[in-house]
Structures are given as structure tokens and as C-alpha cells.
Amino acid sequence: LEGKRILVTGAAGFIGSNLTDALLYQGAEVTGFDNLWNGRMENLESAQQNKKFIFHQGDVRDYDRLLHLMKDIDIVFHEAAFISVPKSILMPQLCNDVNITGTLNILNAARINDVEKIVFASSAAVYGDDPTLPKQEKMRLNPISPYAVTKQAAEAYMVSYNQAYNLNTTSLRYFNVYGPRQQGSPYSGAIAIFIANIFNRKNITIFGDGNQTRDFTYIKDIIKINLLAAESKESAGKIINVGTGKPISIIEIIKFMIEYSQKEGIEIEYDPIRAGDILHSYGDITLAKDILGFEADYDVFRGFKEYLDFY
């Protein structure tokens, strides 16, 4: 990707900032775009030391801005999003505007500016609560939160812009991502919340009985597949699962985290299941291997240990 001119939306966020650093390391020229709602400038501290990086504060709902920003762009990584399932239940319209209209804006601006490749951050939430496991890309989708609906629609736009305009678009269906820079706010991913509580010696709340499962995917594997997708022609118009392919229950990961971090006195409390939450989720990752040669390097235990070193 050396010398490529790349736009990263959501560049100040958890995934976007880690991706920005990796792209700069590869010698790419990176334009970062973020409205700084969830994103934080401190995530871009090292990027900002690099002359090949430029940051613009703005919103993906602003089409004119995107049209202008994409003038000399070769590749777009679209990571900007309304990211929270429970928050989407409180604010479905805003979630729709950011995730669906925002993505359509990206596609239209990319089409007009002849962008070579668009890699989109989609989500395993689109599978919803269909009991079939592991989740396969071809399954019938059953989104049960507004958030999941927006990701499904955005994916469908990615596919249709490949079909209708021959744009090289790829949607990566991330299973639960965790790692350095994920914020421990009440609306961020579970592992970030658990780790913050463990370090602040606060009790952990489980929504439901703790037997719900997730396929926790370490940020480095997410970066790896994004870089592979960026240079691939075979992934054009495709939707691809990205996970480890292995589930773990919430209670099991919490117990491991508490034990491994050797902090004492942390209690587990139970609250009712959250609206919109799915029960079980892990992915079949054969397609990622077949199309992109991808395999996850980190199971959740290895990933958590590395995450802790950064903490």
C-alpha cells in the first residue's frame, strides 16, 4: 500500500486509529476523517507525527465534504459508525442517518471520484438470533436491533454499488472486536468495560445469565484482514466474516480476565438481558481464508494477554 492515498473514516476511533497507524507504517498517505463523537484525538497522537497523515474533523452525513475529500483518494476504509446496539434502540433515527445515509454518501462520493476500493466495517450483528451456528455469510439474516438493520442495509448498498457501478467494494462482517484504544464507556464493547472495571476494582454487571457467547476478535486480526482486502480483486462485491471461528461465553471470559489480571474483590452482578442483544454468535471463517488467505492469529486468551500489556 506504499504511496497509496487512503481515506479512513472514523480515523480517531478504536478500529480506525489502529488501521491508520498500520497504513502509515506501510508507507501510505492517509487522510483521517472523524466527527469525534466516539473518536479521540489522543488515538492519533503517533499518526500526527507523520507527515503523510492529515486529519479532517467532519461527519459522514455531510456529502459535500466527502465529495471534496475523496478527490485524490485511491482506497477508502469506512470505519465511521454509530456503533452501539443498546444506543440504537434509544436513537434509531440517528443510527440510520449515520450508518445508512453516511455509507451511501461514501459510495456516491467514491463513485464520482473513481475510487479503486472501498472496504466497509460491517457487523456480525446482522445475523441476529437465528440459532444456526456458526454463522455463514449465505445465511438468511435476521437483524433484531436497529443497529443490525443499518449494517445490513449498508452491506446491501456495498454489493449493489459493485453490481451497478462496478465499484470494488468489500464488506467485512466483524465479530466482536477488542483491543487497545477501545473505550470503557457504558456503550463500548464488553471487554473494554470489563477490563476498566477490573482495573478500577469495580463490580462487573452481566446482562442475562452470562451464558451468551461471542467470537471475540483481536484488533490486530482486524487490521490484518483490512490490509488484505484493500489489495484484493477477488473480494469485490463480497461480504466476508471476520472472527476467530470460536465462541466463548461472557461468564467464562470474565472469569479468565479477573484471574489473569490478579485483582481481588471484584464481584459479578446480574441484570436483565438487554433489548436487542443476541444470544449466541460465532462465525464460519472459511470464506475469509478462501478469498483472502486470512486466518486469525489471536484466540481470545492470547489477545487479552496482549491487550493487558498495553493497559
Residue 264, judged by CB atoms within 10 A of its CB (0-12, 13-18, 19+), counts as exposed
- By CB under 6 A, name the one of 55, 175, 294, 307 that touches ligand UD1: 175
- By CB under 6 A, name the one of 63, 199, 207, 301 that touches ligand UD1: 207
As a whole number of angstroms, the distance between CA 290 and CA 175 comes to 18
- By CB under 6 A, name the one of 193, 198, 292, 300 that touches ligand UD1: 193
Residue number, 20 or 84, with CB nearest to ligand UD1? 84
The reply to whether 214 sits near ligand UD1 by the rule CB under 6 A is: yes
As a whole number of angstroms, the distance between CA 46 and CA 223 comes to 17
Return the closest-CA partner of residue 179 out of 217, 131, 224, 129: 217
- By CB under 6 A, name the one of 20, 31, 123, 169 that touches ligand UD1: 123
The reply to whether 150 sits near ligand UD1 by the rule CB under 6 A is: no
Site track 217-256 with ligand UD1 (rule: CB under 6 A), x = hit: ---------------------------------x------
Cell of residue 145, nine digits: 436491533
Maximum CA pair distance of the chain? 58
Kindly report the backbone phi and psi dihedral angles of residue 283, in degrees, each rounded to the nearest multiple of 5, phi listed first: -110, 150
- Annotation marks residue 147 as catalytic: yes
The reply to whether 190 sits near ligand UD1 by the rule CB under 6 A is: yes
Return the closest-CA partner of residue 257 out of 305, 297, 296, 185: 305
Residue count, binding to ligand UD1 (CB under 6 A): 23
Residue number, 160 or 249, with CB nearest to ligand UD1? 249
List 25, 127, 147, 218, catalytic entry:
147
Closest distance of CB 1 from ligand UD1, Å? 25
Closest distance of CB 279 from ligand UD1, Å? 8
> Please, which residues have CB within 8 angstroms of residue 81's CB and are 6 or more apart in sequence?
10, 98, 99, 102, 121
The angle subtended at Cα 47 by Cα 46 and Cα 50, nearest 5°, is 100
> For binding to ligand UD1 (CB under 6 A), which residues are involved?
83-85, 123-125, 174-176, 187-190, 193, 205-207, 212, 214, 250, 274, 277, 281
